[in-house]
Chains A and B, each alone.
Chain A
Amino acid sequence: MQEDQDVIREFLVESHENLSRLDQDLVELETHPTDAALLASIFRTIHTIKGTCGFFAFSTLEKITHQAESLLSQLRDGQRELSPSLVSMILETVDATRKVLASIEATGEEGPEPFDDLTERLRLAAQSPAGNERRPGKEKQRASTRKGRAATVPAEPARKARPEEDATKSSAVADANIRVGVVLLDKLMDLVGELVLTRNQILQFNTEREDAALSATSQRLNLITTELQESVMKTRMQPIGMVWNKLPRVVRDMAVALDKQIRLEMDGAETELDRTIIEAIKDPLVHLVRNSCDHGIEAPGVRQRAGKPLQGTLTLRAYHEGGQVNIEIGDDGAGIDVAEVRRLAIEKGLLQSDAAQKLSDREALNLIFQPGFSTAQTVTNVSGRGVGMDVVKSNIEKIGGIVDVFSRPGQGTTVKLKIPLTLAIIPGLVVTSGGERFVIPQVSLLELIRLEGDSSDKHIERVHGAPVYRRRGSLLPIAYLNQVLGLQPAEKAAALNMVVLQAEDRQFGLVVDGINDTQEIVVKPLGKQLKGLTVYAGATIMGDGRVALILDVLGIGQHSGVLSESREQARGAAEQRTRARIDQQRLLLFRAGAFERLVLPLSLVARLEEFPRSSIESAGGCQAVQYRNQILPLVLLENVLEFGGKGAEPAADPVQVVVINDGDRSIGLEVDQILDVAEEEVNVRQSSPRKGLLGSGVVGKRVADFLDLNYVLSAPAGYWFRGQHGSDRGKNVLIAEESPFARGLIRSSLEMAGHRVIEAANLDTAIRALEQRPVDVIVAALDLPPQGSSALRAAMDCRPEWKEIPLLALTESPERLRELAGQAPNFDDCQSERDLDAVLEAVERLASARNAVQVAPLCAGKES
C-alpha cells in the first residue's frame, strides 16, 4: 500500500511538471502551428498521463486524456490542422487534468466532477471529418491560422481560467520537490571535496597551536563539514531499486522466451548508491540477470528430475557492508559445471589441456570471466555469444568493484559484486618513500608486512636477480617504490615495510620507506602534462595543504616489471602452483591443550575468528557466540579430546576459533592458538588409536596430529549433524580403503558436504556393506586389498543391482594418476586421494549422473 502511495506521489509530481510544460508548449504551438516536434512532445505528455491513469484506474482522467490524445494524434499525423478552437479545447483539458490531480492529491479520489461535457466535445472534435476544419486551399488556411495567432484569441479563455487555478491550488507535492540538474550536484560535490580538504588543513593547523577559540571553532567546522559532506553525498544517492525496477520485466520476458518458470525475489531495493555508480552497474546487472535466467535456471522438466520445485528462483540482494555495497545475483539452478568450463577453455584455446586439469575448481570457475568464453550449449538471442562476463568484470573493476562467483553443482550460482559507495572521495593508505608522500587506494590493498631486525633483508630472496618474498609458502614478486620512481634510497632502516597489492588478478609486494595511516582522500585528476605517466592515478591534497600523488597500482606493477610477464607466463606460473597443489594439501595447524600441533585440511575450514571471551554466552546448554546474525555453537577442542591436563591454565582472551560450516550451519572449534597454514605434502602417516584423531603425519618437518572432525562434531554438538542427515540431498558413499587414516580424511570431507559414509577396509567388508545398504557411489583405493579396486568392480558386475553403481578409484601417487589417464579404465573416475576437493567433486558428479538408485533413509553411516 505504502508503495502505491509512493508511486502515486511520483505520478503527481511528474504530471504537474508535465502540465506546466504543456502550457508553455501550447502557447509556443500557437506561434509555430506546424512544428512537428512540439506537437509530438505535447502528444507524449498527454499520452504519459493517460497511460499512468489507466494503471491507477483513474477513469475520469483517463477518459479525458484519451479523447485529447486521439485529437492530438490526428494533429501530429497531419490529418488535421490546428485551429484556435482546438487549442482552447486542449488547454481546457489541461485545466481539467489539473483539477482532477489536485483532487487526487487531496483525497486520493478523482472527485465528483465527471467532465462529461469536455469529453464529449473532444470526442466530437476528433470524430468530425477533418475537412470541416479545413479551409479551402492550404495557403489561405495557413494565413487564417496566423491571423488567429496574431489576435491571440485562442489563448484567452484558458488564461482566464488559469490564474485562479495557480493561486489557489498550487500543488503541495510539487512544492516539496524540485528537480536539480546533475551538473549542479556534481559541482556541489566538488565544492564539498574542497571543503573537506580545507577542513583537514585547519585541523592540522589547530594541532600546532594552543588556542581554545580556534580549537572550538575548528571542531565545529569539522562536524559541520562531515555532515555537509554526508548530506551532499545523499543528494546524489539513488536506491538501487531504480535499476532493479526493470528487471522483473526482463526476467518475465526471458522466462517466456526460454519456456522456464522463474520467480524473482528482490531484497534491499532501498540500498542507496551514488548515481554515477548506479549508471555504471546498470548494464552489468541486467547481463548477470539474463545469464542466470538463461544458463543458471534449468527448464522445468530438468528441475523436476532433479527433485527441485518447477519454479526456479532468482534472488537479488543488496546490502551495505563495511563502507561498500554488496549486490548478489543468485539462482537455484544447475550451477556451473566446472568440468565443462575446463573442457571449453581448452576447446576455445584459452588454456592448454594439462594446465586446465591442474587448475583448482575455484580458478577454473573464474575462467568464465575470460574474454571469448561461454558455456552455453547453444547461442540464444539472449546470451551465450561469448561476450559478457568479461565485460561485466571489467566494467565493475573500472569503478573499483570486485566480482566473485560462487557455484555449487546442482544447487545454483551466486555472483557477488562489491562496489564502493562513491568514487569522488575514497579511502587511501598514505606511505612515504624518498621523503615524498604517496597515497595507495585502499581497494588495491591486501595486507601490510613489516620485516623487523637486521635480517630483514634476508627475508627477501632473489630469483635470477628478481626480488621475491616467501609469503605463506608462495613467492610474491617485489618492487621497491624508491627504484620504480627513481627516488633517493632510504638510509638503512631497522625494519622493512611492504605493502601487498592486488592488480587485476595478480599480487605483488611494494617496499616503501614508511607506512603512515589511512585517510579519506579527494581524488583530483592530473594535468594534461602528466597524463602520460601510468604510475599515477591522480593527486590529492593532504591535511597540511601539500599535494600528494596517488599511485596507480597496475601502472606501478607494470613499470617495475613485476607484472610485465605476458599472460602465457602468468599461466605457466599458475600451472606450476596448481601442479604443486595436486600433490599437496593446504593444512591448518593449530594448538589446543596438550596437542601442540593439530591439523585440519583447510578445505574444511570456513573462517578463523577471534571473539572476546566476554561475548561467549550459553545457548541450549552449549557455549555459543553471536556470529553474523547466527548463534555459533562453540566446542572447546581440548575437552573433546579428553585431555584436560592443562585445564588450569587461564583461558586466553580473545578466544581463537576455527569456524567450520556447511550451508547455514556453523560450529566453532575453540583452540588455543592458530599456528600456521602449511601447504605441503604429508609424507609420513600413521593411524592413531585415540578417539578424535585420525592419525599423525609430518607437516612442516614436525609431527602433527590430524583431527577427526567427524568425531569432534558428533560428540558435544551432535545436533549440528542431525539436520544435515535428515536432508535428502546427501548420497550414500562407500569408502573402500585399507588405511583408516585416509578413510577418515575422505569421510570427514564427504560428511561435511552432507553425504552419508560407510567404510570398508577390504574387498570382503566392501561386499558385505553393499549387501546391507543401498549405495550411490563407491570410492575405492586402486590398491584395495587383496587384489585392487578392479576386483571389486568385477564382483559388482556379477550382480545386476550393483552393476550401475559408479566407482571412483583413488590413488596415492600422482604419477599413477597421470599414467592411468590415457587408459580405458575399469572405473568411472580416478582422483588423487590427497585432493579432497576433487574427490568430493567427483563423488557428487558421479552420484548425480546416476539418478536411478533410490535414496533410502539411512542413519549416519559409521561402520562400528
Chain B
Amino acid sequence: MATDAWTAKTGGPQKSNQFATFFVADLFFGVDVLCVQEVLRSQQMTNVPKAPEVIEGLINLRGQIVTAIDMRRRLELPPRGNGKTPMNMVVRTEDGAVSLLVDEIGDVLDVDSATWERTPESLAGSARELICGVYKLKDRLLLVLDTDKTVEIAAAMGSA
C-alpha cells in the first residue's frame, strides 16, 4: 500500500492528494495520509544505548515496540530547545511501524498536483535524499518526506 502511494518517488506528484503535515524546526513537511498510522503526544521513551544518534529510543505502542526517530537529528538540524516535547507521528513502513519525532503536528491538507515541483538541486545534506518533492502552497512550501528512505538510512547508520 505504502509503495503504491510512492510510485511517484522519482518524479511527479503523489497519487493521493491528501497529506498529513508536521513541522520540524521551520520546515513544513507532509507525508501521504495513507501512510500515517496515528499521531501521539509525547510517549515514555526507553533509551537504546549504542544506537545511532538519530534513534531516540523505543516506545510501547499498545504492546508493540516501536522505534522512534528524531527528525531534527535525522535532518541534521539543531536540537529542539529545552522543555519542548516532540510529537510522535507513527508511520507504516515495510518493516512495521516507526515513530517520527516532530516538533508540531499540522492539518491534513488537500493539495493540487499541479503545484508539485521537483526538489531544488541546491538542497544540501541528508535533507536532499529525504525530500522527494515540493508542493507550492499559497503561503508556504510543503516538503514531501520520503518515509521509507527516512527509516532506511537510519538502518545503515545502525551499524556505525
Contacts and interface: CB of A to CB of B under 8 A. Distances in A.
Interface stretch (A74-82, A229-237, A367-375, A541-549): A541-549
A436 B60 CA distance: 15
Interface in B51-107: 51-52, 55, 57-60, 62-67, 69, 95-96, 98
A526 B65 contact: yes
Main secondary structure of the interface of A (DSSP, over half): mixed
Contact of B49 (A198, A436, A546): A436
A481 B63 CA distance: 27
7 contacts: A436-B49, A526-B67, A530-B48, A530-B67, A533-B158, A545-B60, A549-B48
B154 interface: yes
Given A526-B65, A541-B65, A531 B158 contact: yes
B63 A198 contact: yes
A608 interface: no
Interface string A512-547: 000000000000101111111101100101000111
A535 B49 CA distance: 10
Interface residues of A, number: 27
Contacts of A532: 155, 158-159
Given A487-B49, A549-B48, A528 B95 contact: yes
Interface residues of B, number: 28
A436 B48 CA distance: 9
Interface of A: 193-194, 197-198, 434, 436, 485-487, 524, 526-533, 535-536, 539, 541, 545-549
Name the residue among A434, A530, A546 with the largest chain B CB count within 10 angstroms.
A530
A548 B50 contact: no
B145 interface: no
Nearest to B99: A527
Q: Lowest 10 A-B CB distances belong to which pairs? A: A485-B49, A532-B158, A532-B159, A527-B67, A547-B46, A194-B63, A528-B95, A547-B58, A529-B154, A524-B65
B158 A529 contact: yes
A547 B64 CA distance: 10
A486 B158 contact: no
B60 A528 contact: no
Contacts of B155: 528-529, 531-532
Contact of B51 (A193, A533, A547): A533
A607 B48 CA distance: 43
B154 to A, nearest CB: 5
A61 B154 CA distance: 65
B47 interface: yes
A541 B57 CA distance: 14
A549 B47 CA distance: 9
Given A527-B66, A527-B95, A529-B154, 4 more contacts: A524-B64, A527-B67, A529-B67, A532-B158
A532 B154 CA distance: 11
Contacts of B57: 547
Contacts of B64: 524
Given A526-B65, A528-B95, A528-B155, A533 B60 contact: no
A194 B61 CA distance: 11
B44 interface: yes
Interface string B28-54: 000000000000000010111111100
B132 interface: no
A164 to B, nearest CB: 49
B151 interface: yes
